[in-house]
Structure 1
Amino acid sequence: AEAPGASLDVCGSIGRRFKESYPKTVFHGRLDDLDPYYGAAQAVVVPLRVGSGLEIKLVEAMAYGKACVVSSRGLAALPPGCAGAVMPGEDAATFARAVVRALTDDALRRRVGQNALACVREHFNPQKAHGELIERLRLGMVRR
């Protein structure tokens, strides 16, 4: 009730696990184009509980300049210096409070979204992602 106009769009195969419906929640399933959903979202929730390595879903949402509320698992996937690019929520209560803040505090949401975009541009640009491989290919150092 703290964000009465809020609704939740759930995109991806996770929706198959939910058999009942929830108020103001729409399960869309797998989608080929997420642009309209990211474009319409005020914030993105990334409640990762398990996983390893880079969390592409989180980086993708950040690349849209969205304020992302993340669990500690999502936070651990980010490089040092990007903590201000997301809103952490360790347990259900702090996660819910962070979501409400993301939806109700426009200045905070904009600032976190801008930090998210800056983090992606600095740490996940093509040169950072592929630079070493490209250099090895250029030098003929990749084994076949």
Structure 2
Amino acid sequence: MDSITLRPVVDEILTLDEAGAHLLGSACQDCDTVYFPPVLRCRNPGCAGKTIVPSHLEGAGVLFSFTIQRYRPPALFALEPWEAYAIGSVDLAGGVRVLGIIQAPFDQLSPGLAVRLSTSVLNDGDEGAVITHVFVPDEDGPG
């Protein structure tokens, strides 16, 4: 059986390893500000040090807000087969808010829903499956 090659739609923000998927961000060592996607320097105007280091973000969070997307996204993010999807703003530990697809029945979505990081195949081609980060309901999470 052939192994499936998984490729993140954007390499700089998602990584996969034996433990699963991780969002890649950055953090300022001087003021503890967390960023997603990663930044090259701290944007906090009150920070004098501005020392940035790579950071894996927590995978669990709480849905802050959401909307239902009923249009096809651009080719890079094409979902096949096409269907409407929810996109939401998720509050993760460390004070960072991340946008992502929320994979849950639309009638179960509400602010405060506990979610956790997962991945989903956007499309599958000759060079492997293109994946993106998504959030799914987390029955064990806060919320």
TM-score when normalising by structure 1: 0.27
Structure with higher Rg: it is: 1
TM-score when normalising by structure 2: 0.27
